Amino acid sequence: MTNVTISDTVYGISIDPDDGGLITEINHSMITGTTRSIAVYCGSCGGIETFIGNTQLAGSVSVGSSNISCVGAYNGSYVALDSSCQPIP
């Protein structure tokens, strides 16, 4: 996904590989979720990768055992996120 704005009262994006809901790239976007901006649900997420670039993630990120990589991402308060999409202290 590129140049999209998603806002929801629970999850901005919910990824469930068992339902075919696999997202691999999100770029130049704004993702907002009151509970989570991105939530990945899976028991064993081997081989699942999510890449976030230059995107605002307003809401926490929960990815379970999957792999996520953020570059140039920031949260709803414009605090930079590290490579695992968590706020840099």
Tell me if 70 is assigned to some domain: yes
0.75 exceeded by pTM: yes
User: How many domains does one find in the chain?
Assistant: 1
Inform me whether the pLDDT recorded for 19 exceeds 70.
Answer: no
Inform me whether the pLDDT recorded for 18 exceeds 70.
Answer: no
What is the per-residue pLDDT across 33-89, written as a single tens digit (0 to 9) for each? 999 999 887 766 666 778 999 999 999 998 877 788 999 999 999 999 999 999 998
Tell me if 84 is assigned to some domain: no
Tell me if 68 is assigned to some domain: yes
Tell me if 57 is assigned to some domain: yes
Tell me if 51 is assigned to some domain: yes
Rounded distance between C-alpha atoms, residue 24 and residue 27, angstroms: 10
For residue 26, the enclosing domain spans 5-75
DSSP string, 3-50: S-EEEESSEEEEE-GGGT----EEES-EEEESSEEEEE--S--TT-EE
Tell me if 17 is assigned to some domain: yes
